[in-house]
Structures are given as structure tokens and as C-alpha cells.
Amino acid sequence: MTHIPVPMASTVVDSILFRDAFGTAKMRALFSDHALIQRYIDVEVALAKAEARVGVIPADAAEVIARESTIERIDFDHMREETDIVGYPILPLVHQLVQMCGDAGRYVHWGATTQDIMDTAVALQVRDALDSIDGDIRELRTILANLAKKHRDTPMAGRTHLQQALPVTFGYKVAIWLAMFDRHQERVAQMRERVAVVEFAGAAGTLASLGDTGFEVQKALAEELKLGVPATTWHVARDGFAEAVNLLALVTGSLGKIALDIMIMASTEFAEVYEPFVKGRGASSTMPQKRNPISSELMLAAAKAVRQHAGLMVDAMIQDFERATGPWHAEWIAIPESFILTAGALHQAKFALGGLIVDEARMKHNLGISKGLIVAEAVMMSMAPHIGRQQAHDIVYDACRTVNEHGGTLAEALAALPEVTKHFDRAAIDRMTDPAHYLGLAPQMVDRAIALSSEI
């Protein structure tokens, strides 16, 4: 019988049970150990090529380093053991690259420091991860724009403080979601140039080991890796990575808001929307009738987790002198997990919203459960030109009390008042107490949101 090793994953982002609920294969691959080590190698090779271009090391040495430095030749067990001793993975990696490259190995890692290689590798990961997030947001915006357009005129109860307030449309609600992600799309684009920059500065960040050629090498390295050149060393200036994770917190925060709306609207008493039906999804082990909003629950959980990492990244910005004594390490935890969780939440959002089931009849029913009281403001404003605003307010207030205490509808209560029938017949009363006739500019706001979104 073949022995199958027991997987050692212990967190949701790598769990064989939960990894596809909380993340995506694409984002896990970008932040995998294998991908990270490959990025370390990419930076070391690019550095050799850059230094050869500038004339710091022999061109033939750079050629050997580029040819021989392959991840397939890495002894990962030995690298892990040495990393445990050293505390960082670059020296163990350099030891192996030097051996791979023979005489040319003397030029591996020339003039660099550990953090140069690690920061640049993470900058490459973050650049590629932001591209993936950017694509996910673009897909989600298309879904939201289509949903908003479809339900531009679908009336429903607008709610404030969890109480029915005024009528809106479901498309209006979705347009608000869309506008949030329009802004996130812009933020990703604006942030990229601040984050996708090379780190190459040497031991204390002064490029002293390369003399007058330091800036040239730095620029050539950035060109090799298609990264930007920073104004100064950022060994202890961590605002770029902190901004990236805090942007992810904004993205997942918006997803959490959408998730909360969906979960409440999907509750039995509301029953206005449902996540797409997949046999068995959201089922209960004891209650066969259950259809839990699983994607929304996962989106909300991701929002809470990434928010914590955003705080951790801000805390990690507080670093001592020219090289930190510990805050840097916190980034190793926060950055990969934040990107994976955000990708997972966006995946869940695209699924839930792409197939969202909207019960328009139920929305209309719920809009009517107040028996017209939801449009009390509309009635007051319609009557005000005839009898004055305050008197209209008092009449409508009394009519609302009648409905609350004795039943019936607001239209019936108003039709029983001579002060009202003096100016309005029953048809007019019915019209001004119909919630569908008091949507304000909600439909037009949908049009504007969709138009503006299409320009991004």
C-alpha cells in the first residue's frame, strides 16, 4: 500500500478543506514558497545582469549566474535548516547559488544586502498580485453595472437604522456598491507606481559598496525587473506596502458591506435576495430547509481578517533607525495572507453577485407592509403647497397614528379627513401614497453611476 503523506497545512489559506473558500489558486501560487524563492533568484540574476551592464562585474560572470541559477537545483531542506539558523533566507540561498555558478559565484549578490533582495522580491509579488486584484475588481464592476441596470426601476424599501425609511430601487443600492469599486479600481492604478519599486541600497542604505556606480546599478536593476526607481532607500520607510494592504482592507471592507446587506436581505423575514442556488450549498446538517448565504459569510470574514492585517502593517511602519529589529517580519505574515484573503473574497463576490436571485415581488410586498407609512414624507410634501408645510405635517402625523393604532392604510386614513379630501380626490390620494411614485432620483442616479463607471 502506497503511503500518502499527511498534509501539514494549518491555516485556512493553505488548508485542504478551506483554501478555496478563503483564497484562490492563482493568488496562492503568487505567494507560494516556490514563487518567493524564484523571485529571490530573479532579483539576484537581474542584479548580476545590471552590474554587468554598468561594468561592475564581468559580463561572462553575469551570463553564468543567469544560466546556472535555477530553482530546480535548490536543496530546500538545507535552505530551510540554514534559514532557521541565520534568521533570513537570502544568505542560505546565496550559498547555494555561489556553488552552482563556480568561479562566477564570487559575483553573486555583489554589493547587495539581504533586505534588498527580499524587499524587491516582495515588490514583484505585490505588483503581480495587484494586477490580479485589478482584474477581479474590473470583472466585479461589470457584474454590478449589469445588475444595477437590470434593476434600475425595481422599487424596494430603503432602510435607515434597520427601519423602513423611504422607497429606493434595488438598482440604486447596487449603483452605490458599483461606485465603491470604481474608486477602488482607481486606487489600485494610482498606488502601483508607489509600490512597484526596486529596493537596492546596500547595508545601511547608502550604496557605499558600489561607490559612484550605485545609482547606475540601481536604475539598471529596476529596468531588468520592470520596476520603478525610488527617490531614497525604503528599508525602514514601509508606507508603500502598508498602503497596499490598507487598500486591500478597503476592498474587503466594501465587500463586507455588500455581504452584510445580502445576508440581511436573504433572511427569512426579508426574503428579497438569495445567493445562486447550488445543490447542497449552505445546507445545514440538522435543518433541511436552510439555505445559508455562504459566500457573503466568507466575504465578511475576509473583511475582518484583512482589517487586522491592515493595522499590523501600520504598526510595522514604526521602525528603528536604518534597519528594523522586528517590525519588518510582521509584513511576512500580513502581506501574503491579505492578498490571498482579498482574492478569495472577490471570487466569492463574483459568484454571489453574478448569479444573485432577486425577488422583485417580495421587495414590492415588503415595501407595502407599512401600509403606506413609508411615503408619509411624500404625502406631506404634496399637501404642503395647499395647506402649508407644518399643517400638512400635523395632518399626516395624525393619519399615521390612526394607521398604527387602528389599522387600515395611510390612503384610507387620509381619505377620511376633510382637510385632505378638500384638495385631493381618492385617486390622487392613492397615487401620492404609492411608494413606487416616490423614488426621488434613484433611477437617474443609477444611470449616472453606470455612465461614470464606463469611463474608468
How many Å apart are CA 64 and CA 46, to the nearest integer? 12
- Closest alpha carbon to 79 in 70, 69, 89, 67: 89
How many Å apart are CA 313 and CA 450, to the nearest integer? 34
Distances (CA, A) of 170 to 78, 156, 262, 304, 431: 58, 6, 12, 26, 21
DSSP state of 156: E
**Contacts of residue 423, Cβ cutoff 8 Å, sequence gap at least 6:** 383, 386, 387
Angle 223-227-228 from CA coordinates, rounded to 5°: 95
How many Å apart are CA 188 and CA 228, to the nearest integer? 16
Q: In sequence order, what E strands does 234-385 have?
A: 273-274, 357-358
How many Å apart are CA 175 and CA 145, to the nearest integer? 7
What is the distance, to the nearest Å, from the Cα of residue 73 to the centroid of all Cα atoms in its chain? 37
Q: From the candidates 267, 284, 329, 386, which is the catalytic residue?
A: 284
141 grid coordinates: 464592476
132: enclosing H helix or E strand: helix 114-150
Distances (CA, A) of 140 to 204, 266, 272: 44, 20, 21
Count how many residues are written for the chain: 456
Q: From the candidates 10, 161, 285, 406, which is the catalytic residue?
A: 161
Sign (positive or negative) of CA dihedral 154, 157, 162, 166: positive
| Bridging pattern class, strands 163-169 and 273-274 | unpaired
328: enclosing H helix or E strand: helix 327-354
Phi, psi (deg, nearest 5) at residue 203 = -55, -50
Distances (CA, A) of 34 to 16, 30, 65, 330, 388: 18, 9, 19, 20, 74
196 grid coordinates: 512597484
Q: Is 443 helix (H, G, I), strand (E, B) or coil?
A: helix
Annotation says 161 is catalytic: yes
Sign (positive or negative) of CA dihedral 436, 438, 444, 450: negative
Within 13 Å, how many C-alpha atoms sit on residue 96's CB side?
A: 22
Active site residues: 161, 284
